[in-house]
Amino acid sequence: MILFTEKLEEVVSEDNEVRLIDMFVESIQMGDFHFKMPHNHEGRPAYNPKDLLKLFIYGYLNSIRSSRVLEKECKRNVEVMWLLKQLCPDHNTISNFRRDNDKAIRKVFRYTVSIAKEFDLIGGKLIAGDSTKFRAQNSKKNNFNQKKISQHLEYIDDKLRQYSEALAEADEDNKEIIEAHIEKHNKRKQFYDTLSAQLEQSGEVQISTSDPDSRQLITRNNITEVAYNVQTTVDDQNKLVLDYKVTNSNDSKAMGGMLRRAQVVLQSNEFTALYDKGYHTGSELKTAIDRNIEVMVAIPDVSSASMAPDPAYNVSEFFYNNENHAYTCPQGQVLTTNGRWYKKDRNAPGRKKNAPILVQHFKTVACKQCPCLNSCTKNTRGRGRVIERTEYQDYVDQNKRNIEAKPALYKKRQASAIQKTESHH
């Protein structure tokens, strides 16, 4: 008794997605994407990269990332059997293909985006950006910054001092044991000295030993993990992914680069980009606006340190006059600047080093006699209220005006379809 048809062709329906995968891969020239084409002179012939690419795409569409699981699917999944013509590459072959052709696979992704554009599946008028954190293989124990290295070195130096003192008083039977401990700690010290030198040479503030490109990042609720941060750009029309980039930094400096890439993909800057408050950085807003790209980035909440004792006197309640380059406070007093720019250090422990930001200070002598001084500032014994205006404030204000002018468009950032598409990819 035959339980299944003898022909795989009859098992796979005409509208099955594997037929689309097969047609797509067969239509492209692998050499144009610079796939590595193996040529074995001995043994069995190598697998055709087209077959492995078909398997990779099938795994992607069905959320199968493991090379071992893909190997198993080749032996039991009739769709994969049809797609690969019953070839069964092992997990090492699948893994090596993905590793050796990373750039080529990314080029294929960009090619699919160009096809979608030709079929008018991409609107190119409204895009949204977001990120997803993926844990690296590197544990926190094998991730180091200068402070952590210094703590280890301090501990080792203390131990070496103790062992040296013990060695001076030890008898012949114990000297060999103590010398072995000293040698072990000297090797550890050399290891940490090497890490410290690598940090200094690279200019980075972190180093990971198991997964060198990964970094300790804030994932959620101030919880940190050694991870990668995948930036994604999605088009609003059909919720298709336009672009992605794997990074090892947080979102604050990512928007400018992703917008430049989106501009290349869309061949236009006539689109609006929506981002959450994690991307609200003055220099990144400047990059977008200088490229004539309309952005709407969620405005972060005012930090407790920046709030006035009475919220009615927060900076947002001060009116800035662009022509006079001055602020007017809620009491009608005008705060002016001497025109000088001051450097404000933004570097914090454990974060990548940033160039200082330039600020101007705005103040008025009227603060000393103001009856609302205690409501306006905590600096009641000094020079009164001082407002810092950064070199990027004009771009921050422009972003705010964009949001206020198109509130309905801005709310699309929170649309479930866009959010789900981004998190899935």
Identify any residues that bridge with 235 across adjacent strands, giving them in sequence order.
127
Going by C-alpha positions, the residue among 210, 205, 252, 195 that lies closest to residue 229 is 252
- In terms of residues, how long is the chain? 425
How far from 246 is each of 85, 203, 227, 243, CA to CA, in Å?
A: 33, 20, 10, 11
Q: Three-state SS for 267?
A: coil
The rounded distance, in Å, linking the Cα atoms of 406 and 109 is: 33
Neighbours of 389 (CB within 10 A): 19
Q: What average pLDDT does range 293-322 have in this prediction?
A: 90
- 0.85 cut: is pTM over it? no
Q: Three-state SS for 218?
A: strand
Q: Does residue 34 contact residue 103 with C-beta atoms inside 8 Å? A: yes
Going by C-alpha positions, the residue among 379, 388, 402 that lies closest to residue 360 is 388
∠ CA(11), CA(14), CA(18), 5° rounding?
Answer: 80
Identify any residues that bridge with 129 across adjacent strands, giving them in sequence order.
233
The rounded distance, in Å, linking the Cα atoms of 354 and 345 is: 8
Counting residues of the chain whose pLDDT is more than 90, the rounded percentage is 63
- What is the rounded radius of gyration, in angstroms, for the C-alpha atoms of the chain? 30
Average pLDDT, the chain: 88
Under DSSP, the state recorded for 12 is S
149-159 residue pLDDT tens: 999 999 999 99
102-153 residue pLDDT tens: 999 999 999 999 999 999 999 999 999 999 888 888 888 999 999 999 999 9
The rounded distance, in Å, linking the Cα atoms of 8 and 212 is: 45
